Amino acid sequence: MLKFNEQKQLDNVNGALSLKPEVEKWVDKIWDRGFENICFLGIGGTYASALQVEKHLKAKSKLKVIVEEAAEFLTTGNKNVTDQTIVIISSVTGNTKEMVEAMEKIKEIGSYVIEFIDEKESTLAKMFDNVISYPGDEQLKFFLVADYLMYKNEEFDDYENYYDQLEKNLAKDLVAIEKSADNFGKEFAEKHRHDEMQYYIGAGNQWGSTYSYAMCYVEEQHWLRSKSITAAEFFHGTLEIVDENTSVTLFIGEDAERPLAERVKKFLPKVCGNYTIIDSKDYPLDGIDEKYRGYLSHLVTHCVTQRIDAHIEHLNRHPMDIRRYYRQFDY
């Protein structure tokens, strides 16, 4: 398989899950002090991951959650972010300009902070004490915090059982999904690698990953034009420009907003001859209870898009780590 290192994949997921005791330690300290709300703050891909965990919390918890895009937070601010707010961030480089400036503002406000920073010696890592350093898998990291907060708030009695299942099975299940999705990924890449425009639709915790895939992967890394749209909003504009040839990909998850995506699925065959459905339900998660699948469906579909990416990169002979403009000069 192209760009597939099974052991690395296993180690990445298991490594992220092994952060659970450290996450619990920091959350326990903050819980004992007391807090009013939670803010996930990000930009680009980290903002997209924040949108996923926001859906998770909104559906299952009474905890007050805020999601802020760093550049917008710098200009608009948010009066609900105070010294009684838990601010949670994730960063690979630890030096993204907007994130550094936003966290300087957070430091002035005096919020409680939990940072997931890949680079231990980076600017962001040195700004606060509550730093957890482990590369990748920010979606799992964000959910670790959210799930433990819900457990502390007596809203997730299954917490220990759920994470026991993840620790035993999730890594190998996701590896198996990538393997099974490889042929599909190749076929999708062969069909769509030269599309003039691609539309991606998602709902629930699939929305954050849909938004991220269209922007951070299809546009930023493959240099292909795309647009992402929520399944709910699809019927209020985007449906009018879909015809028999329009490239449309619909992600369907298994959380509370699945019916919104299924509505789009029902509509597309009436007007479009070039649509693709990627449904997390089509892929098994062995050893993980059915009732938990909705929590993980965005991770399932991410496995599928990783196979698409590997084949588009190979067929188009365009390395995904090349950028025209991003971080190439000041702007």
Q: What is the DSSP string of 286-331?
A: TTS-GGGHHHHHHHHHHHHHHHHHHHHHHHHT--TT--SSTTTS--
Q: Write the pLDDT tens digit of every residue in 263-292.
A: 999 999 999 999 999 999 999 999 999 999
What is the value of pTM for the model shown?
0.96
Helix (H, G, I), strand (E, B) or coil at 254: coil
Q: Which of 188, 196, 226, 227 is nearest to 315 (CA)?
A: 188
Q: Residue 16, Cβ neighbours under 10 Å: how many?
A: 23
Rg, C-alpha atoms of the chain: 20
Give me the residue label for tokens 């092994």: 18
**Across residues 188-204, what is the average pLDDT?**
98
Q: How confident is the model at residue 262 (pLDDT cuts 50, 70, 90)?
A: very high
Q: For position 28, what pLDDT does the model report?
A: 97
Q: Write the pLDDT tens digit of every residue in 68-125.
A: 999 999 999 999 999 999 999 999 999 999 999 999 999 999 999 999 999 989 999 9
Q: How confident is the model at residue 134 (pLDDT cuts 50, 70, 90)?
A: confident
Helix (H, G, I), strand (E, B) or coil at 267: helix
What is the rounded distance in angstroms from the CA atom of residue 212 to the CA atom of residue 44?
Answer: 7
**Across residues 185-191, what is the average pLDDT?**
98
Whether 136 shows a pLDDT value over 90: the answer reads: no
**Across residues 168-196, what is the average pLDDT?**
98
Q: Which domains does the chain have, with CATH numbers?
A: 6-157 (3.40.50.10490), 170-316 (3.40.50.10490)
Q: CA triplet 129, 48, 276: central angle to 5 degrees?
A: 150
What is the rounded distance in angstroms from the CA atom of residue 275 to the CA atom of residue 271?
Answer: 10
Q: How far is CA 38 from the centre of its chain?
A: 18
